[in-house]
Amino acid sequence: MREVTLKHIAEILEISVATVSKALKDYPDVSAKTKKRVKELAETLNYKPNSFAVNFRTRESKTIGLIIPEVVHHFFSNVIKGIIAQAEKKGYLVIILQSNESYQLEKKQLGLLVSKRVDGVLMSLSNDTVDYKHINNVLDRDIPLVLFDKTAKLINCSKVIIDDRKAAFIATEHLIRSGCKHIAHFRGPLLPLNSIDRFLGYKKALETYDIKYDPSLVYTCNEVTFEEGYNFTQELINTQKRVDGLFAVSDLVAIGAIAKLNELKIKIPEQISVIGFSDWLMSSAITPSLTTIGQPGYLMGKKAFKRLFVEMAKIRKKQPFKYKTIELPTSLIVRNST
């Protein structure tokens, strides 16, 4: 079965390829009668434009690229879902690449997407990324790019984020208001802005409520895993320090902590209150259910695509535009661990 082309239709109808093309695209300068004939035949023959030819001609692929640090991650899965849903609605397809939290991979993948000529890029930085040349390079080539969740202040482009500092402040404040006075923090890696901001929000809350900041109550989770939460909790308990609250950088870490506390028969929240961050699927299912900060992953994906869509249109039409930072609200979800 040969692929049907404009030429076939033109030959059958004994008109030119140009007219067929214009008829199908409803150009005003084609007679209604011709349009009708062309469209009907196209329908009958089940004509589908050759997208390779269309891409080539129009210099558009109607495809965007997405680079994400880790696909197997409740929050990021939700972001992905939001992005593909919104993209599909607008006729765009999404190519997904995983940077594995590696700067080298991220750089390489961005190169792949550019050489594939995606119409735009959505990305969340890897924890490893310290240098932004690869990103500025894309921006300089007038390829729209929007960052989400893990961003960097020094990159000048549109961003969709939450206010990590404020959310962490609220989380810590919630512990303080529930009566905690000795609050530990299992923070994220030193580099990404999110974990810095969450740490700063924690410190700020202590300061606001006149609680002395004690650096020995802060542990750094480089991998942000269950095991780190589990092990650091043991270490924390071993120090024999007074601790009555714990703010963990993510639910997974908090759940690790809860597992260890349960094991040690330390009562939650009576002896130690625990709060996480992100609201993972499982957080309401564990015992005790985890108080946490709700982070709108699906919405973030949706908004990120929407912004990208706007910028793709602007660039296509060579219209000037300003970068925007869109901040999404978070929520305190109180459950039984505090």
Partner DNA sequence: CTGAAAGCGCTTACAG
Residues of the shown chain interacting with a second copy in the complex, contacts defined by CB under 8 A: 1, 48-53, 55-56, 59, 61, 63, 71-74, 77-78, 80-81, 84-85, 88, 93-98, 109, 112, 115-117, 141, 226, 252, 255-256, 259, 262, 280-282, 284-287
Q: Is 313 in the site for DNA (CB under 7 A)?
A: no
Q: Is 26 in the site for DNA (CB under 7 A)?
A: no
Candidates 26-34, 228-236, 283-291, 293-301; binding stretch for DNA (CB under 7 A): 26-34
Q: Least distance (Å) from a second copy to the CB of residue 264?
A: 12
Query: Choosing among a second copy, DNA, none, which partner's interface includes residue 45 (Cβ < 5 to 8 Å by kind)?
Result: none
Answer whether the bond into residue 288 is a cis peptide, omega within 30°.
Answer: yes
The residues that bridge with 278 in the sheet, in sequence order, are 294
Query: Choosing among DNA, a second copy, none, which partner's interface includes residue 17 (Cβ < 5 to 8 Å by kind)?
Result: DNA
Query: Choosing among a second copy, DNA, none, which partner's interface includes residue 112 (Cβ < 5 to 8 Å by kind)?
Result: a second copy
Strands 331-333 and 292-294 turn out to be: antiparallel
Query: Choosing among a second copy, DNA, none, which partner's interface includes residue 184 (Cβ < 5 to 8 Å by kind)?
Result: none
Phi, psi torsion values for 136, nearest 5 degrees: -60, -35
Sequence letter at residue 302: K
Which of positions 40-69 make contact with DNA (CB under 7 A)?
49-50, 53-54, 56-58
Q: Least distance (Å) from DNA to the CB of residue 17?
A: 5
Binding interface with DNA (CB under 7 A) = 3, 5-7, 14-19, 21-22, 24-25, 28-34, 49-50, 53-54, 56-58
